[in-house]
Chain A
Amino acid sequence: MSALLLFLLLAFLLLCALLSFLDADHPTASDDSASSCFSSGQSGFCDYREFASLGNLVFSDQDWNFIRHEQSPFLNKLFIEERRAVITHWLRESAARLRAIRVNHLQHSRLSANLDVFAEGRLFLWVFYLGFLCRSLLLIVRFSHPSTPRALALYFQSAAGKLFSAAPTALAPQAANQHPPLSP
C-alpha cells in the first residue's frame, strides 16, 4: 500500500515537472504578448468574446471532418500539425494571461488595507487550478489528436473566460477606445 502511495506521489511529481517544462518552453514570448496586450489595450485576445470564439473554432470538429473527407493521409497529417500549433498558441496565450492576472492582482492586493484572506486564498487556488488545466491541455494536445480534449478545452474556456472577462476592466480600461469593434 505504501509502495503504491509512493508510486502515485512520484507520478504526480513527474507530471508536475513535465507540465512546468512544457509551460516554460517560450515563457518570455507569451509574457510579452500578454503584457503588450494589456498595455496597448489591443482588442482581440484581450476581449473575452474573441477568446471564446477562437477557442470554439480551433477545437471544432467541423474542419477535421472536412479534411478527413478529402481522403489524403498527407492532408490529415498537415491538419494535425497545423491545428496543434494553433491550439498551443491559444493555450500559451491563456497561460500568459493567467500569469499576468495573478501578478497584477498580487501587486494591487499588497496595497489593500482590508485584505480578505479567505477570498485571496480562493482566488489563488482558482488561478492555480486553471493553470493546471491549461498545462494539462498542452500535454494532451502534444500527444494526441487536436480535437481529443475538446470537452476539457471548452470547460477551461468557460472557466477562464469568467476570469478574463472580469480582469480587463481593471487591467486595460482603455481597451474599448483604442480600436473600433471588429464584429459587426
Chain B
Amino acid sequence: MDSSNSSFKLADLDAQKAYEDLWSRTLSRIPGDLNRLIYVASTRDYNSGRYHHAGLETHFGFDAVRQALEIAHRELFWKLSRSCLKDLVSELELYMHSSGESPDELLRAWRTLQPYRVAIPLDVDPLAAHLLLSNLKLGLEVLQKRRARLPGCP
C-alpha cells in the first residue's frame, strides 16, 4: 500500500495534506503494513490516546496531524484485520527481519508480552480487533514452529 492507492479524502484540507505527507515521506518507506501499523501506533500517547508527530506538527496544525495519523492507523488496521493468515505470517516475517533484533528474542518477547495488543486503534470493531489479535498469535506460533524445525535450533 502506498500513498497513491490510499484514497482517503479528508474534509479538513490541512489534515488531507498531512495525511498525504505522512504517506509519501514516511509510511511508503516502511516495508510492510504491520511495520507501518506499529510505527503509527507508536506515535500515540499511551495515557491519552492522542497522536503526536513532531515533524508533521511543524508544518501542519496539531489537529490536522492527529486526524491524519488516526486515519492512517485505522486504515492499516482495517487492511491487516482482513488479511489471511498466510499474508499475516509474511508480514510478521518482514517485521522480524527489519527490526534488527534476533528473531528468537523477538519471537520470545512477542509471544510472551504480546506488545502488538497496544497497536489496535481506538473505537474499531471489537470483533475485527479480536480476529487480528488471534491471527497474530497464530502467526507467531507458526513462525516459532518453523524456527524450531530449522537445523541447530533447540
Contacts and interface: CB of A to CB of B under 8 A. Distances in A.
Interface of A: 33, 40, 42-45, 50, 53-54, 57-58, 60, 62-63, 66-67, 70, 72, 74-75, 78-79, 82-83, 85-86, 89-90, 93, 179-180, 182-184
Contact of B142 (A42, A60, A75): A75
A89 B84 contact: no
B131 A75 contact: no
Contacts of B126: 33, 44-45, 89, 93
Given A67-B85, A67-B138, A86 B145 contact: no
Contact of B134 (A42, A67, A86, A182): A86
B127 A179 contact: no
Given A70-B145, A75-B142, A75-B145, A183 B131 contact: no
Contacts of A60: 84
- Taking chain B's interface residues, is the majority helix, strand, or loop, or is none over half, making it mixed? helix
Given A45-B125, A86-B127, A184-B75, 18 more contacts: A44-B126, A44-B127, A45-B127, A57-B82, A63-B85, A63-B135, A70-B145, A79-B138, A82-B137, A83-B134, A85-B130, A90-B127, A93-B126, A180-B8, A182-B74, A183-B78, A184-B5, A184-B6
B117 interface: no
A2 B146 CA distance: 60
Interface residues of B, number: 30
Query: 9 smallest A-B Cβ distances: which pairs?
Result: A44-B125, A63-B85, A182-B78, A82-B134, A66-B86, A184-B7, A45-B125, A66-B85, A72-B145
A85 B138 CA distance: 13
B128 interface: yes
28 contacts: A44-B124, A44-B126, A44-B128, A45-B125, A45-B126, A53-B82, A57-B82, A62-B86, A66-B85, A66-B86, A66-B89, A72-B145, A74-B141, A75-B138, A75-B141, A75-B142, A75-B145, A78-B138, A82-B135, A86-B131, A89-B130, A90-B127, A93-B126, A179-B123, A182-B78, A182-B124, A184-B6, A184-B75
A38 B114 CA distance: 31
A163 B45 CA distance: 39
Nearest to B7: A184
